[in-house]
Structures are given as structure tokens and as C-alpha cells.
Structure 1
Amino acid sequence: MTPTPTPTPPRRRRRHRRLLAVLLAAAVGGTALLLGPGGQAATAGTDAGRDGGATAQAAADAADTPGAPTAPGAPADGPSPTAAFTNPVVPGPNAADPSIVHHEGAYYHIATTWASHWEIRTAPTLGGLASADPVTVYEESAPERCCNFWAPELHLLDGPNGQRWYLTYSAGVAQDIDHQNVHVLESAGTDPMGPYTYKGQVDPYGDDRWMIDSTYLTTDNGELYMLYSFWEGTQNIYVAPMENPWTPASPGVRIATPTHDWEMSGAGVNEGPAVLQHDGRTFVTFSASHCDTPDYKLGLLELTGDPMDPGAWRKFPEPVFERNDAAGVYGPGHNQFFTSPDGTETWVVYHANPSASDGCGASRTTRAQPITWNEDGTPEFGVPVAPGEELAGPSGE
């Protein structure tokens, strides 16, 4: 399958055409141009200049009309040169199981380290993350949770100490991935770079069972839940109500287990839940099949009632995002979502491999692309774009 290029958002294309038309018409009419806030053009000068300004305005209005022709000499529609980037967003080695947030003018990236520390990259543009230096924000030495740091996520939540960043992740003992558990850190303030302090292990059953891939769900009425994954012969997804971001209020309930063939490649796996809320609806993506195969992919759930009612979680019958052999993208999965700086776009961040023979290791890189919405209100992910394919950066950069 040929990958579908991601189009420049229509609003952005119109803005570019409008500005180009103003510049062109003003040059013809002898108008001096002043660029105001947001790139809006204003005219100044003689009567001839003002006449030119009127011509410029008319040309701009035409350029702002859907389907209007592009002004002569103007470049074809395409990504803004200042915002363009290519995947992978972060090439690795610490780029699997990624999470990206945008906060107060900057992007923050965190991903699996397989070590005893967390590191964050930050940059003012999405494309800038690739060259940003990682900064260590937390190190752990306690032997029961020192090692194998996996699947971090950053969430800005209202906690007991006010609004704070919570870093939830999986960790365990050295050289033994059979003792992974979920843990939570809390920031000292509202800076995603911390500093962070350890708050506790999330243990809904009090039996220290193997548990990974945690994320938070906040309902419209402010109730907080944690979603996570247990191994029980298959990898299953659970949800539990939370007293605070690190303390369960009661044991969780199972909401998803592998049932379809596309969830069974290599092993029966439902893991890596990620919450996506839009127009009053709550969706949860999850990763299906084993990460050691090129068939690792994303499935979709929708919450239709009480989060603690397993029957209120509807699983879609087909995967929503999977390998794109023609583009050289294999095993796309373990995603999260972030919103563009101006709030108009939703983006998916995920990891993928460059080869069908790669598996669950450091070959996985962080990728990102925008998603759209179908007429029925469900998310449309399209196909994973090829590495090196130029994309316009998130709107508002």
C-alpha cells in the first residue's frame, strides 16, 4: 500500500495563500507593507500605496476563498518550511514507548530507557526534539524498583499538593523483567522537567503482581482512573479508580483481552492503553500482538458508560493503525496523544521499527503524525508515514 501523504491543514494553507497574495499585489501597487501580529499585512504610504493596498486586500480575499487560484509565482500548497519535520522525531536509542506533551510553548519527550533513570528532551518545535539533548530528571537506587525503566508517561493532574506533573512508569529489579510494577513520581511544581520525587507503587490488589503500561483517565466529572496491563496467560487491560495519582481506591476490573486474530501474532496481547477524548466521547487505543513481531499494531476501545463496568467498554472489530510495508514501517504501536499548540489538531506519537526483523529493542524510534475525525465521530489514523517524508509541524508552531 502506498502511504497517504499528510496534507497541510486547510486553515494553514489559506493563511499562506493570503499572505502571498498580499505581498504580490502590494508589490504591483507600490504599497509598503507592515506585518502585524500573526503575520497580518497592513498597508501604509501614499494614495497610490493605499490603492495598492485595496488591490492587495482584494487579492487576499480571493486567496482566502476555498478553491481560489494561487497567485502567479506563489509556491504550491505544502508544509511550512519553518514547521516542517520528518520522522523519526527521536531516533533513539531511548525512543520506544514514547510520550510527548506540549506545555507553555515547548514539547517534552520521554521514552523507555531500560535503565535506572528518566531523561526528557525539550524543544520549541516538534522537529527540534531530534537534536535536543536529553536531560536526566530522576534516578533510582532502591533495589526493588531500580531497573528496567519502561513506558513512561507525563500527565498534568490536580493532586493533593495542587496541580503537578505525574510521571507514571513500569520498573523492577535488575536483570529480571518478571518483576515489573507500576510506579509514580510527582513534580515539585508545574515544570515538566521537575524536580521529581517518588510517591509510590500502584498495587491495586496488594499482591505485588506483574503490572505494566499505566496511563490516566479523567472523566468529565473529575474522577480519576488508572488503566494498566496484567499478564494472565494473555496480556489484558484493566482499569482502577484512584484516590490520588498513586493510590488505588479499590481493585481494578478487566476491560479488554485478546479475542481477534489480529491481536494474537506472537502472543495474545492487549497493552499500552492511551486515552483520547473528543466531542464528549472517550476512546482508548491499545497495542495488540507481541512487540517482537512486525504485526504489533493499535486497536481501539470506546467507553460508553461507567468505567468500572466491563460491559461499557466496546472494542472495535478491526485494528486502526498497523504496519505499512510499502513505507518501511513495521510494528507501529505503544502510542500516546498530544494537541497542537493552537489546540486545533490531535497528534498521535508512537514507536515503530525500520525492518520486519526488528523486535522489542532499541531499534524502535519515536514517530508522530496528525489524526483526523470521521463523520461518525471516531478517530481516523490513516497509515504510518514513511521515514524521511516531510510533514508540516503541528498547527500554531
Structure 2
Amino acid sequence: MKDVRIGLLGCGTVGTQVARLLEEQSQDLAARSGARLKVVAIAVRDLEAPRDPAIDRGLLTDDPHRVISQADIVIELIGGVEPARSLILEAFRTGASVVTGNKALLAAHGPELYQAAAAAGVDLYYEAAVAGAVPVVYGLRESLAGDRIMAVLGIVNGTTNYILDEMTTKGMDFGEALAKAQELGYAEADPSADVDGLDAAAKCAILASLAFHTRVALDDVHVHGIRHITADDVATAARSGCVVKLIASAKRRPDGIELHVGPTLVPATHPLASVHGPFNAIVIEAEAADRLMFYGRGAGGAPTASAVLSDVVAAASHRVDGGHAPRELVYADLRVLAPQEGRSRFQVEFTVLDEVGVLTRVTSAFASHGVSIRSVVQGVGEGGLARLTATTHEACQADLEATLAELSSAPFVAEVHHVNRVEES
């Protein structure tokens, strides 16, 4: 049986689990790939840092170039754009295949990396870049290659799902739920990438590129975070039969593709509504296959290592038997719609004067901009004010914005509160 040499760039939580599983499951992995998978070197920043006993310290080096020069397959787990990008390109030049979980790098430089891998005749795998152990990348690249994808909707950030779930099930406010997420290790000390939607947006760009065979960049995704979500917002959603989730949405429209990440009201009957805690789930709508759902742990050392090793087995088998990973397909070249061109149902909350005729004037403002109202609920107000919650039928984002601009300056409207999308059940 042939040896395939494995080099690791990074040995944090995920890298440690990858190294451990390569050793513990060596016989099974060899049987699946047709090759003995041998870790030959591991690049780390600090050679003296404490390590899990599973790590052979004799393999450690602070020179990533040395790792690349010895490896047939390079596993990149250092994160960020640089030096990860340069090291991956170097690996391709040496003839090594690459397995990465780096969603930020793929969202920013995916096309460059795909082209470099193809030019070198090697593989680029990245199952771990989206939703940890959930095999959605494989599903889109291979299992659904014979179908036409119409939409991809996902909870792809476990931190925000945990926070929103705590707010929904335990009545916490955002700050309290975030603090608990940080205490449990679900959120970083600086949670900006998660709670501001940037992590989910990078994953949305990757999923959309795969689903629609079109190059999608991070800047193409319209992003809103969850910092502004309050306990009142969660309660209002519940009264509407919905829960609030941070949804990454990529939808095929007649005139292009629509990309959005933001807080979304999900009906209790929708499969994503039942995703709790730090779990991830992605729903794919396809023409022939109809609705499919991928669900599982989206983060953590062992789950993410599982995705990495599945890619390693595939890349190693190609070293032994020939073949390549699926290449980048961008034949469709669909137009990415501007945020104002997006369409959705919306729910808008605002405070108005509690007077006769105000409701008629509010609904007239919506109608004048072509936005059809599905329902209006008036809450108990104070000080001569009333709280209105209006839910629309599907409408154009630009028409809704024009409606809200008119209402914001109207003398009978005290304040327009948050606007959230509403997903169909």
C-alpha cells in the first residue's frame, strides 16, 4: 500500500483532533483511501506551547514551508487570508493537494485558488469551510450535480443560533445571551464576525457559488447582524407564530440571484425553526429533488475534523487511483441582484398616534408604493401612542424602503422600529 504524506498547517482545536484521528483510525482510513496516511510535519506558531498528548512533538516545526515541501496533501487550518493564501498557492506549485476549512479565504480568493489547483492538476477540498461536519459542500458539488438548485437557506453560524435560541426559549436579552455564549465557548471574546453576520456571509457566498455555478464574492452578500434584536422582537415574532433566526439566504430569481444574511422570522412549521442551540442546518430547494435538509454540529474540534478527514480520504484516493476533485463550475454567470432588487415578505413594527384614521393612512402608504399588507396587529400603547406590527406579502426591497421613508416623516408616525424578513413555511 502506498504512503501518502500529510502536512498540517496549524494545530489548534481542529488540527489537534485531525492529528489524533489520523493516528487512532489509521487502519480504517487506509482501507477507505487505499493509502497509508502519514503525518510528516505540523507547523505551529509556538513550539513550546502546551499540547494534547496525541500530538507527536517530534513532528512540530515553526517553518510552514518545510511542511509543504514534505507533503502530498497539505491541511490548512490556520485561518485568515494571509499567510494562508500564499501557503496554499505554494503547496499547489509543489504538486500537493490542499484541504482547508478557511471560509474567509475562499470567499475572498476562491476563484484564484480554484484556478491554481486546476493548473497544477491537484485537488482543492473545503467541506469543513461551511457548517462543520454537515456535508453540504459535498451535497451541492456532487450529490445534486444533476439537479437545478432554486434556493439555499441556512443557519450556518452556531454562535448566533445559540444566542437567538436562548432569547427565544429563556427570555434572555441579547447581552445576557451573548455573555452566556462566551462563557460556554460558543462565542469569541470579540464576537463581531458572528453577531454582525460576517461569518455567515462568507459561507453564504461559498454556498451560492456552488448552487448557482456563478462566482459570488463576500461583498455580493447583503448583510445584517443580530445586535439590534431585542426580547420584544422575539416576543412579537412568537405572537406571529415565528422564531427569529439568522438566515443565510441564496435564491434564484428570474433576473438573477438574491443573496442575503440577516435576522429572519421563520414560521414554526419550517424545518429551520426547530434548530436549537449551536447547531447548523441548511435547507436546499431543488427542481427535481424538492426540499432537502442537512443538519448537524457546525463547529467544534471533532465535528470539523470529521469534515477535514473526509476530504483527506478523497484526495488521498485520487493520489492512488487517479482522478480529481470537482472543478469550479461558473458557466451560468448569473447576475447578482442589488439589495434593493431583493424580494421577501417583511414584518415592520412602528409606533403611531392612537387616533381614528391612522391605520387607514398607514395602509394607504403601503399601497401607494405597491406593497401589499398581509396582516396588521395593533398592540396596547401608552401616552396616546399605539404599536403596530404589519406583515406584508412578498414585496420588492426598494418598494418597502420607499414606504418606510414616507412613514418615517409622517406626522402620525412616532417611530419606525426594526424591519425583518419573513420566510415562507
TM range (shorter): under 0.3
Length-normalised TM-score, structure 2: 0.25
Structure with bigger strand share is: 1
Q: Hey, which of these two has a bigger chunk of helix by percent?
A: 2
